[in-house]
Amino acid sequence: MRQSVTINVNGQRHTQEVEPRLLLAHFLRERLGLTGTNLGCDTSQCGACTVLLDGQAVKSCTVLAVQADGSSVTTIEGLATNGQLHPLQQAFWDNHALQCGFCTPGMIMAATDLLRRHPDPTEAEIRTGLDGNLCRCTGYENIVKAVRSVAEQSS
Amino acid sequence: MARYVGTPMKRREDPRFIQGKGNYVANIQLPGMVSLAIKRSIHAHAHIRRIDTSRAKALPGVVGVFTGQDLIDGGVGKLPCGWNVPDIKVPARWPLAVDRARHVGDGLAVVAAESAYIAADALDLIEVDYQPLPVVVDARKATEPGAPLVHDDVPGNVSYTWAIGDKAAMEQGFAAADHVVDLELINQRLIPNALEPRAAAAQWNPFSEEMVLWTTSQNPHPIRLLLSAFTLGIPEHKLRVISPDVGGGFGSKIFHYPEEIITPWVARRLNRPAKWVGTRSEASMTDSQGRDHVTHCRMAVLNDGTITGIHVQTWSNQGAYLSTFAPLIPTALYLTLLSGLYKVSGIYGEMWGTLTNTVPVDAYRGAGRPEAAYLLERLADLAAARVGQDPIEFRRKNFIPKDEFPYQTPVAFAYDSGDYHHLFDRVVEMADYPAMRQAQTQARQQGRLVGIGVAGCIEASGPAPSRVAGALGSAVGFWESGAIRVHPSGKVTAMTGSHAHGQGHETTFAQVVADELGVAFEDVEIVHGDTARVPFGMGSYGSRSAAVGGSALVSSARKIRQKAIKIAAHQLEAADEDMVYDQATGKVYVRGAPDRSKSFAEIALAAYTAHNLPDEVEAGLEETAFYDPANFTFPNSAHIAQVEIDRETGEIALQRYVAVDDVGKVINPMIVHGQLVGGIVQGVGQALWEQAVYDEAGQLLTTNLMEYALPRAREFPAIEHGRIETPSPHNPLGVKGVGEMGTIAATPAVVNAVLDALAPLGVHHLDMPLTPQKVWQAMQAAQA
Ligand code: FES
Ligand code: FES
């Protein structure tokens, strides 16, 4: 049994037949080839798969493609505009906020949503705000710095 | 002279990661590719009476189902152990278990299907007839009479034993002592949990009979060697192993894993590209795990605080099979570190490597060295308390003085350099340790449980002199390769046998090569992780990349410079000895006449046009070096942690963390800082939260990130970090290695802090992880 879904991903409409059980993460990775959305767990803990669904951060391993029908999704690939890095992408680079890079797309997407909700978070608020995202490499410190630096730029 | 080394260059690998263009194995998609899924044992120990795959095979979309016996009939070999201490018994390990499963997660069959969803469905249709067998999970209990045998041909479940040190000197030290402190401790088992689960993809070309395997490995060449010589049987010239972007390793991706055999085997069998991507649960049940020691240790001291003896007995859990380097970890990387930062003559350590019905155990960040540091630093605190000294005063009393380097310990290693007094001066000053203690006294008067923990640790990094490794049981050497190809335009491609999976070699190694040759950073490209593109190399682990891999590139750059000098001298009609290679500019000129010169690009072009080369010089400008280190390097650290415990809940707040490390010379301070902070957080994870838990039946209860607690951002203050630099005297970069130091020191620093907080209640030791529940129970018991 297949169902038709139409999802706007990074500004482009995609209509596809999918199994109802297909996860949004797999839809993005396998159907659309957007492999920037990484999968690090199978119980919705790590946050590596975080994307924006109608502007809000969600773990795409916990959303079915059919649930996203009619919605807009932004993935890490859609964050830069006209070849210009998003301020968070730039800040992650400038602050050495990544090592292996596997958590990075999800971390940046989650931070985007965090800054949307709290444009000027304290360090402690950033640390709690990113509670749903795990990084095994960096010890988080430079991630916090990167997010903080973007808040500072825009305030 | 260095223009790039020592500066915080931004990483050139980052643009792809921050834009979602990382090239991880799971992202590889080839036309006609099948998805693989593996049926795994649900029992920790069971006879496999029958595996019925017929229903799975009948599922539409399933392309093939194969059992362990199919693989053996199809020519696969057993996974070997790469480190063989004397009299070791290496039990058989097949890529898929055949008639007996020995741990939960042991592979039994593989499904190939048109999609990952269908493959997962098919797993449920495979029927396995298990006959459960008695189970043993504890390292020491495995050796007790009557314990179930994990392998019938390994009596008593003891795969090997090992000892080092001078037993008589140790006994003398204890006889002379005024006090002995004694500790039974468990260094709990950890699951490495690199964020990227392991994966493998393979493509077979039936015409050239070449196989390409992409795998999440820290060392593609050794994996190719093992596949060719032992497990898969495709010869090395027909087998290309690529380890592209890898999402963290921490040791767990060093080893040769069954899926690296199964995936190419299926790809060839079906003549279709194949891919296996592990889930987190599979990673938890199959990635080699870390630590798991049961230890009895003792320290002998005089009234004045002098340590006179250290005695250690450890039962080291190896799991159900010996993973690739398992026997190295609790022997030559553990008992050999029992001298720590201290000058002690009477040291003796002995261990038993035992088999149990658990996931195999091997190197995990630090690998043996954290276990040694942990027990030493716990004993040091207990001994300091016994003789009534401050923990730092006690440690200082026993430090190896800086004028005694190189220092030969009684347990094999000769430390290269260090200045431990200076190291501690720095951390005491940075933390304002006296003020911390004062504030603690006040807090205690208010009834608050504030604790300050100190750890001083050493690491042996940069493995290893090949000859030494061979004498200790290694089946391989631990040199590293570095090759530099200068193109006719003067642009440079440098190939390293090291592998980066977060460490940033594409940046740091370019800094090194650019400085060595005097070319621009932008003109140097670093290639790694592909057996078809780089010379045989040993890969990355043991904090070795900079010390060994970096040094290999320095060696090959030196050869390039020598050849460049010859070419320039010839063209400028001067003698080789009269030439100066200016490493700031890459210009080669005649001494005293700087305008009689050739630029690096001119020399490169001349090497390839070859119209005018000296007779003995061949065309081209390309050199390879194989660098074998003269010794390990010995990074060291002084860390201070402060915690406060909530009396009501047992919760621990990490309030301050101050670290000073000596990792030798630094190539890129930004990356070094990142490695140390990341390492510290991982070490705190072991102290406070992380643990692989097995029940009596051998069920692993922590198979996902809901049950296994990784450190989170909110649990940490900003780490205060400083460095001192005593260059390693025996490698050309003076570097010591930085990947593991933070992890090693953080665990004892935090545990010591918690126990310092609990000291007023009379609690002297708790085993990790120090969860709120455990701490609360200890407080209740102490107050009862
Ligand atoms: S993959 Fe979605 S939370 Fe881990
Ligand atoms: S950078 Fe590796 S998991 Fe975050």
Q: Give the residue-averaged pLDDT of B739-761.
A: 97
* Per-domain boundaries in chain B: 25-133+199-247+253-286, 290-463+631-783, 479-627
Residue of B nearest to A83 (CA): B19
Ligand 2 pocket, residue A96 CB under 6 Å: no
Distance CA B209, CA B233 (A): 12
Distance CA B640, CA B625 (A): 41
Mean pLDDT over all residues of chain B?
97
Q: Give the residue-averaged pLDDT of B427-440.
A: 98
- Tokens at B254, concatenated: 């060093």
Distance A41 CA to ligand 1 centre (A): 5
Banded pLDDT at B464 (limits 50, 70, 90) = confident
B668 and A CB contact within 8 Å: no
Distance from CA of A31 to the nearest CA of B (A): 11
Give the pLDDT confidence of B153-202 residue by residue, as tens digits.
999 999 999 999 999 999 999 999 999 999 999 999 999 999 999 999 99
Q: Is residue B42 exposed (0-12), middle (13-18) or buried (19+ Cβ within 10 Å)? A: middle
Give the pLDDT confidence of B578-588 residue by residue, as tens digits.
999 999 999 99
Give the pLDDT confidence of B680-732 residue by residue, as tens digits.
999 999 999 999 999 999 999 999 999 999 999 999 999 999 999 999 999 99
Banded pLDDT at B473 (limits 50, 70, 90) = confident
What's the CATH fold of domain B25-133+199-247+253-286? Answer: Aldehyde Oxidoreductase; domain 3 (3.90.1170)
Task: Please say whether the dihedral angle defined by the alpha carbons of residues B510, B512, B513 and B516, taken in this order, is positive or negative.
Answer: positive
Closest CA to B630 of B466, B481, B480: B466
Distance B458 CA to ligand 2 centre (A): 26
Q: Give the residue-averaged pLDDT of B104-109.
A: 98
Global confidence as pTM: 0.97
List of residues 6+ apart from B204 with CB closer than 8 A: B210, B211, B264, B267, B268, B271, B273
Q: Give the residue-averaged pLDDT of A6-17.
A: 98
Residues on chain B touching A103 (C-beta within 8 angstroms): 195
Distance CA B392, CA B550 (A): 35
Mean pLDDT over all residues of chain A?
97
Q: Give the residue-averaged pLDDT of B421-438.
A: 98
Instruction: Enumerate domains of chain A plus CATH numbers.
Output: 3-76 (3.10.20.30), 87-154 (1.10.150.120)
Ligand 2 pocket, residue A103 CB under 6 Å: yes
DSSP E strands: which ranges in B175-268? Answer: 179-190, 199-205, 210-215, 239-242
User: Distance between the two ends of chain B, CA-based, in angstroms?
Assistant: 66
Give the pLDDT confidence of B300-329 residue by residue, as tens digits.
999 999 999 999 999 999 999 999 999 999
Q: Is residue A151 exposed (0-12), middle (13-18) or buried (19+ Cβ within 10 Å)? A: buried
CB spacing of A36 vs B20 below 8 angstroms: yes
Write the residue in B13, B21, B280 that is nearest to A36 by C-beta: B21
Q: Give the residue-averaged pLDDT of A133-154.
A: 97
β pairing state of B274-277 and B34-40: parallel
Residues on chain B touching A47 (C-beta within 8 angstroms): none
CB spacing of B17 vs A104 below 8 angstroms: yes
Banded pLDDT at B283 (limits 50, 70, 90) = very high
B776 and A CB contact within 8 Å: no
CB spacing of B196 vs A124 below 8 angstroms: no
Substitution site in A93, A99, A108 for ligand 2 pocket (most atoms within 8 Å of beta carbon)? A99
Give the pLDDT confidence of B25-57 residue by residue, as tens digits.
999 999 999 999 999 999 999 999 999 999 999
B278 and A CB contact within 8 Å: no
Angle between helices B551-571 and B505-517 (to 10 degrees): 30
Distance B493 CA to ligand 2 centre (A): 27
Cβ atoms of B199 and B216 closer than 8 Å: yes
What's the CATH fold of domain B290-463+631-783? Answer: Aldehyde Oxidoreductase; domain 4 (3.30.365)
Distance B374 CA to ligand 2 centre (A): 26
What is the predicted pLDDT for the residue at B1? 55
Residues on chain A touching B711 (C-beta within 8 angstroms): 139-140
Closest CA to A148 of A94, A80, A83, A85: A94
Residues on chain A touching B13 (C-beta within 8 angstroms): 101
Residues on chain B touching A45 (C-beta within 8 angstroms): 704-706
pLDDT surpassing 90 at residue B237: yes
Distance CA B334, CA B295 (A): 12
What is the predicted pLDDT for the residue at B183? 98
Distance from CA of A130 to the nearest CA of B (A): 7
CB spacing of A144 vs B713 below 8 angstroms: yes
Write the residue in B250, B501, B674 that is nearest to A138 by C-beta: B674
pLDDT surpassing 70 at residue B260: yes
Distance CA A125, CA A134 (A): 16
Task: Write the DSSP assignment of B708-765 as a string of letters.
Answer: S----GGG-PPPEEEEE----TTSTT-B---TTHHHHHHHHHHHHHHHHHHGGGT---
Residues on chain A touching B19 (C-beta within 8 angstroms): 36, 76-77, 79-80, 85, 89
Domains B290-463+631-783 and B479-627 share a fold: yes
Give the pLDDT confidence of B340-373 residue by residue, as tens digits.
999 999 999 999 999 999 999 999 999 999 999 9
Give the pLDDT confidence of A21-38 residue by residue, as tens digits.
999 999 999 999 999 999
Q: How many CB pairs under 8 A join A and B?
A: 175
> Omega of the bond prior to B380 within 30 degrees of 0, cis?
no
What's the CATH fold of domain B479-627? Answer: Aldehyde Oxidoreductase; domain 4 (3.30.365)
Ligand 1 neighbours by CB, cut-off 6 Å: A 39-41, 44-49, 59, 61
Cβ atoms of B685 and B711 closer than 8 Å: yes
Measured from the Cα of A38, ligand 1's closest atom is 1
Q: Which of A79-83, B11-15, B62-66 has the lowest mean pLDDT?
A: A79-83
- Tokens at B239, concatenated: 């087998």
Q: So what's the ipTM on this one?
A: 0.98
- Residue A136: what residue type? R
B120 and A CB contact within 8 Å: no
| Residue whose CA is at the smallest distance from ligand 1 atom 1 | A39
Give the pLDDT confidence of B523-543 residue by residue, as tens digits.
999 999 999 999 999 999 999
Distance CA B44, CA B291 (A): 20
B198 and A CB contact within 8 Å: no
B705 and A CB contact within 8 Å: yes
Ligand 2 pocket, residue A10 CB under 6 Å: no
Residue of B nearest to A89 (CA): B18
Write the residue in A35, A130, A137 that is nearest to B248 by C-beta: A137
Mutate to test the interface with A, among B21, B28, B124, B195 (most CBs of A within 10 A): B195
Angle between helices B741-758 and B772-783 (to 10 degrees): 30
Ligand 2 pocket, residue B710 CB under 6 Å: no
